[in-house]
Amino acid sequence: MSYWNDAGGIHILGGDLETMGNQANLSRAALPCQADVGGLIGQSAPMHLLNDLIGRVSRSTSPALLIGDTGTGKELVARAIHFGGLRCEKALVTVDCSALTPTLVESELFGHVKGAFTGADCSRQGLLQTAHEGTIFLDEIGELPTFLQAKFLRALQEKEIRPVGSTERIQIDVRVIAATNRDLEAGVRGGTFRQDLYFRLNVVQIRLPPLCERKVDIPLLVSHFLEKLSDPLQSVRTISDGALRRLMAYDWPGNVRELENAIECALVLSSGSVLTADDLASVPYGTSARNAPDRNELVPLEELERRAIANTLLETGGNKLSAARLLGIGKTTLYRKLRRYTQLPADRLRAERGPNGKQT
């Protein structure tokens, strides 16, 4: 199922309708256990490490703290952990703590009974109870009001909650994934974030690399966004080499989200079948850009894929099994693509045989 309340920063995915009580606007579109969480695109070393860590963290139920700048994909990582883990058939509840109204945040998390406060015309289940046996993802956890942090910590430690206005305690079993783009340790030192809550959430810490640390992934991301964002009536399937150099030269302080917005803007502005540097009006020229864009050099999506495969084979020393695993494709698929791209530089390393003389 899915429940979307963008105004309140609340999303609910998966789970069983019967456990949702009186939550509104729930549909029966249950997500499968191996849902495509999408967006985690990249073959750079930082992304390899991130994907490996996600796989290990998914197998546990311990709290996890995601740390990364805005636009690095923290919610995508949370989804990957949830849907790759043992609780994948239960609800994933996403809460943007910065979007919750301070006066109602306690009611949103813990629920309330009828008459608990002005306007409480009926009892309402809290989000922690909604996530029972599933996962709650608390984005921007640093924005959680100080007055509520102690109650939230108690709920995590005792695995029970008490709705606002109620004397009844309700048992909960919830995996917590929190995320922040702030320095929570500085918040602890400054008294805006409880140290004990920080330790409770920071059992496993995952740092998301900014895009400037994995620029080798930009061609893959561009290919993905062109496929995702192109209008069915548009014929844009290529990007000029000059435009790609411009994207690679920029440092992307807004990370992947900023890159996606730039590609979408370029598609709107483009008047032809090729994205050129002139279409990238929202992207400043980076200091590392050496030459003016050459709009006559085109880079088809097929070429972007070829470059990604070449870079991965170079990184693995030509080991095709390792390259296929890092690229997230099957060995047969990689061999088929290699037959099509016969000029890959990595083929000259050890395209057919490894150091032991065995097929790689």
**291 and 158, same domain (yes or no):** no
Establish how many alpha carbons lie within 13 A of residue 52's alpha carbon, considering only the half-sphere containing its beta carbon: 9
pLDDT computed for residue 230 by the predictor? 78
Q: What is the CA radius of gyration of the chain?
A: 24
**147 and 101, same domain (yes or no):** yes
49 domain residue, yes or no: yes
Q: What is the CATH number of the domain that holds 221?
A: 1.10.8.60
Average per-residue pLDDT in the chain? 80
In terms of residue numbers, what domain contains 74? 2-207
pLDDT greater than 90 at residue 345 = no
Among residues 177, 207, 237, which one ends one of the domains? 207
**123 and 196, same domain (yes or no):** yes
Among residues 191, 207, 223, which one ends one of the domains? 207
Q: Give φ, ψ of 85 to 5 degrees.
A: -110, -170
**55 and 117, same domain (yes or no):** yes
- Whether this prediction's pTM lies above 0.85 is answered by no
Cβ atoms of residues 144 and 152 within 8 Å: yes
Nearest one of 43, 76, 59 to 315, comparing CA atoms: 43
**127 and 203, same domain (yes or no):** yes
238 domain residue, yes or no: yes
Q: What is the CATH number of the domain that holds 167?
A: 3.40.50.300
**186 and 46, same domain (yes or no):** yes
Percent of the chain that is helix, strand, coil (3-state, to 5):
45, 15, 40
Query: How far out from the chain centre does Cα 215 lie?
Result: 17
**313 and 164, same domain (yes or no):** no
* Rounded CA separation 87/90 (Å): 5
**341 and 280, same domain (yes or no):** no
Q: Among 166-180, 181-195, 314-328, where is mean pLDDT lowest?
A: 314-328
Q: Among 33-47, 111-125, 189-203, 282-296, where is mean pLDDT lowest?
A: 282-296
pLDDT greater than 90 at residue 28 = no
Strand order in the sheet with 175-180: 2-5, 10-13, 92-96, 135-139, 175-180, 64-67, 204-207
Query: How confident is the model over 172-199, as a mean pLDDT?
Result: 96
Number of folded domains in the chain? Answer: 3
**146 and 267, same domain (yes or no):** no
Query: What's the chain's length in residues?
Result: 360
pLDDT greater than 60 at residue 180 = yes
356 domain residue, yes or no: no
Neighbours of 337 (CB within 10 A): 17
166 domain residue, yes or no: yes
Query: How confident is the model over 159-181, as a mean pLDDT?
Result: 94
Among residues 207, 233, 250, which one ends one of the domains? 207
**230 and 270, same domain (yes or no):** yes
355 domain residue, yes or no: no
pLDDT computed for residue 317 by the predictor? 66
pLDDT, tens digit, 9 for 90 and up, residues 229-274: 877 666 666 889 899 999 999 999 999 999 999 999 888 878 788 8
More confident residue, 178 or 306: 178
**135 and 191, same domain (yes or no):** yes
358 domain residue, yes or no: no
**28 and 151, same domain (yes or no):** yes
Single-letter code of the amino acid located at 190 = G
Query: How confident is the model over 71-82, as a mean pLDDT?
Result: 96
22 domain residue, yes or no: yes
47 domain residue, yes or no: yes
Q: Among 35-44, 93-102, 103-112, 140-149, where is mean pLDDT lowest?
A: 35-44
